[in-house]
Every structure is written in structure tokens, then in C-alpha cells.
């Protein structure tokens, strides 16, 4: 299925039911008075995050969702039946924004989390509500209020623990194939990866984390060049960024240090928060050089970058160095758990039982 991470959605809550104009009619009760009931509440529209969905493709087919209207009231003070609420399934990690105002309505980061996006209209009053000492036989009733209508922008941000950075052909897809069961396309030409890939990396019994591979970044990605701008947002939820550097590029004029600085500059342009995330340096493709030469080039790259974080020499093709990398990443994630999403949950409305 084609990966789609943005969609536009129209939602309409149900209208409130019409109030009833009715009078009590019984034998031997000539002046029974008004007994018209209120209209029912219109159904509301909720978005619910569910596991198993990883795309917003369904919303390219069905774009409008409407909840049920409330039923009208009836005599004998009977209120109308309320309309059923509508729950629309979305992937975990969906950010919901109102299109007209640009206001963010919520961020669904947990499975089962719900967000009220359109409230149903109130039912109209029956004529019983209008009786008074001076108006004992009111012949009017409320029409019921219309339900809310909204046009929403849905944006999917993948929830991964680890994100891979690097230029096209840096070896990101090869690495995720080596350490997980994910099988992204691998080839010897740029932009082999066109959509993000997720892989679950096992680090021992009951220990695992999720790694995200996004399309390669190029200079100007933050302004829309290449494919990176559409997918940089998927790195915002990660806790560790693994920056891959090609130690043996095919192009002899390529400069790994210059390329690494370019990637970091694009991160800063896109988001200051993203640029301050924990970043580790992975010097990849060491299998293409003699061990002594690989060590020499790696030290030179680290020196020129003035990089002070963790540095790993690996080969995604042969798996060399990846077991240690996986264990170190797992230890870091265990020591730095993800922030409690309770604050984000305050903006969501819990589904009624």
C-alpha cells in the first residue's frame, strides 16, 4: 500500500432533534396541558487511535464523515432518541489540526486514545418547557441546534524510538535490514527509499525498540528539495538519531564531513528541537576498506567534525559492529524512557463506556 501521511477530512456532527408540540388528551381531563418532549441530542464525531494502521490512505477514498441526527420529541413528555456517536479510526501518531484556523486539536499518541472533533447539536425544547402561569397552552417548540462542522487536516508522525539520518545511499536501508525483520528496497542508486520504513529491533528476551528509516536528505531539504521535507517530521518523536556516514563513497569527489554538516544544517533549519536530540555517529561500509585504512579515515572524519558523541564503525552489509550498537541503543532507551503522554491526553476526550 502506498504510504500516505497527510489527508484532509470533513466531519459533521448530528443535528439536535426537533421539540414536540403536544397536549395531554385523556377522558375526563379536558385541560391536560402541554406534554411535548424535547428532541434528542445529535451524535458527536470522535477520532480514535488504533493499532495496526500505518497510513492515512483510507481518507483519500472517504473524505466526509457524518454522525447520526437526534430524533424528534413526542407526546407524553417523551424525549427523542439521541443520535449515535461516530468513531473514526486513525493511526497512532496522528496530529489533528483544524484547516480554517490552523489550531491543533490534538495529538493521538496512544492506542485507544480518542479526540472529540465535532460536538452534536442540542435537541430543541418541547412545548412543555414554554408553559407558564400566563401561557398555559404554548404552541411552540425548539427546532434543535445544528451539529458542528469542521474540515480537518490529519498528519501522521510515526512513533519510533530511533531514527536513521543520512544522504541517499548512505546505507540506512541496509542497516535496518541487518538489525530487524524489515525488508526495505536496497539498490545502488540514490533515493531507493521513497517512503518511511519501520523495523522492530530485538535486543534480547522482552527487549526491543522501533527503528525508522526515512528517505535520504539532501541540501535544501528543509525548503522542500528532494524527498526529505515530507518525512523529517517522522524523526520528531524519536529519542535517538543515528547519523550514517558513507566511509567509502562511490563518487571520489564526495566529502563525508561536508555531507554530514549539510545534514545537520538541514535539521536545524527544520526544527531546533530536532537538532538538539541525542545524535550518534555511525561510520558505515567499513567492510569496503582494509581495517587500518578504515580506522584512519574514521578518526579523520571525527576530528574534522569535532564530534563528541558516541561513534560506531559498522557495516550494514556484513553486520559487523551492529550487535554492540543494538545493545548500546537499548541501554540508552531504557535509561531515558519516553515522556509520559498524560499532558497530551488532557486535550483528548475519553470515549464513553
Q: Where are the beta strands (DSSP E) in the chain?
A: 6-12, 45-50, 64-66, 86-91, 94-98, 104-108, 114-118, 149-156, 162-165, 197-204, 207-213, 240-246, 278-284, 311-313
**Bridge partners for 200 per DSSP:** 210
Spelled out in words, what is the top-level CATH class assigned to the domain 6-156?
mainly beta
Residues in the chain: 353
Sketch the domain layout of the chain as residue ranges.
6-156, 162-335
Specify whether the CB–CB gap between 155 and 95 falls below 8 A: yes
Specify the pLDDT at position 339. 63
What is the β-pairing status of strands 6-12 and 149-156? antiparallel
Specify the pLDDT at position 347. 39
What is the C-alpha separation between 340 and 41, in angstroms, rounded?
Answer: 35
SS (H, E, C) 12-71: ECCCCCCCCCCECCECCECCCCECCCCCCCCCCEEEEEECCCCCCHHHHCCCEEECCCCC
Would residue 16 be called left, alpha or beta, if left means φ above 0 and alpha means ψ between -120 and 50 degrees? beta
Distances 42 to 2, 89, 122, 350 between C-alpha atoms, Å:
36, 20, 6, 18
Measure the CA angle with vertex 129, ends 125 and 130; round to 5°.
105
Residue (of 57, 45, 54, 43) closest to 87 by Cα position = 45
Per-residue pLDDT of the chain (353 residues), as tens digits, is 345 578 899 999 999 999 999 998 888 877 788 999 999 999 999 999 988 777 787 888 889 999 999 999 998 899 999 999 999 999 888 999 999 888 999 999 888 999 999 999 999 999 999 998 889 889 999 999 999 999 999 988 777 788 888 877 778 888 888 888 766 555 443 444 456 677 778 888 878 888 888 765 544 444 444 444 556 777 777 889 998 888 888 777 788 888 888 888 877 877 788 788 899 999 998 998 899 999 999 999 999 988 888 999 999 888 899 999 999 999 999 888 876 544 444 433 444 43
CATH 3.40.50.300 is the classification of domain 162-335: yes
Specify whether the CB–CB gap between 34 and 22 falls below 8 A: yes
Specify the pLDDT at position 326. 92
DSSP symbol at 334: H
| Residue 34: all three cell numbers together | 402541554
Amino acid at each position: 500500500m502506498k504510504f500516505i501521511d497527510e489527508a484532509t477530512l470533513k466531519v459533521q456532527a448530528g443535528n439536535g432533534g426537533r421539540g414536540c408540540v403536544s397536549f395531554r388528551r385523556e377522558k375526563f381531563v379536558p385541560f391536560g396541558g402541554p406534554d411535548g418532549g424535547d428532541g434528542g441530542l445529535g451524535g458527536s464525531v470522535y477520532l480514535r487511535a488504533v493499532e495496526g494502521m500505518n497510513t492515512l490512505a483510507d481518507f483519500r477514498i472517504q473524505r466526509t464523515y457524518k454522525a447520526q441526527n437526534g430524533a424528534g420529541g413526542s407526546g407524553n413528555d417523551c424525549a427523542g432518541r439521541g443520535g449515535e456517536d461516530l468513531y473514526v479510526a486513525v493511526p497512532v501518531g496522528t496530529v489533528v489540526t483544524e484547516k480554517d484556523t490552523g489550531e491543533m486539536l490534538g495529538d493521538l499518541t496512544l492506542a485507544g486514545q480518542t479526540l472529540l472533533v465535532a460536538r452534536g447539536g442540542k435537541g430543541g425544547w418541547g412545548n412543555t418547557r414554554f408553559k407558564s402561569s400566563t401561557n398555559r397552552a404554548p404552541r411552540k417548540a425548539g427546532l434543535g441546534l445544528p451539529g458542528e462542522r469542521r474540515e480537518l487536516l490529519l498528519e501522521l508522525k510515526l512513533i519510533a524510538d530511533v531514527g536513521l539520518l543520512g544522504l541517499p545511499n548512505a546505507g540506512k536501508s541496509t542497516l535496518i535490514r541487518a538489525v530487524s525483520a524489515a525488508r526495505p528496497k536496497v539498490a545502488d542508486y540514490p533515493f531507493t527509499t521513497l517512503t518511511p520504513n519501520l523495523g522492530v529491533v530485538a535486543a534480547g528476551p522482552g527487549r526491543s525498540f522501533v527503528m525508522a528509516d526515512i528517505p535520504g536528505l539532501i541540501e535544501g531539504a528543509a525548503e522542500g528539495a528532494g524527498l526529505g521535507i515530507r518525512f523529517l517530521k517522522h524523526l520528531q518523536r524519536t529519542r535517538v538519531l543515528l547519523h550514517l556516514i558513507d566511509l567509502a563513497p562511490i563518487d571520489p569527489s564526495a566529502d563525508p564531513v561536508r555531507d554530514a554538516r549539510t545534514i545537520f544544517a538541514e535539521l536545524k533549519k527544520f526544527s531546533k528541537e530536532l537538532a538538539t536530540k541525542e545524535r550518534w555517529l555511525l561510520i558505515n561500509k567499513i567492510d569496503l576498506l582494509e581495517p587500518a585504512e578504515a580506522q584512519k579515515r574514521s578518526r579523520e572524519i571525527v576530528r574534522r567534525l569535532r564530534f563528541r558523541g558516541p561513534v560506531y564503525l559498522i557495516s550494514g552489509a556484513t553486520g559487523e559492529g551492529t550487535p554492540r550498537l543494538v545493545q548500546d541503543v537499548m541501554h540508552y532507551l531504557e535509561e531515558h524512557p519516553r515522556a509520559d503522554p498524560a499532558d497530551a491526553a488532557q486535550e483528548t476526550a475519553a470515549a464513553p463506556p
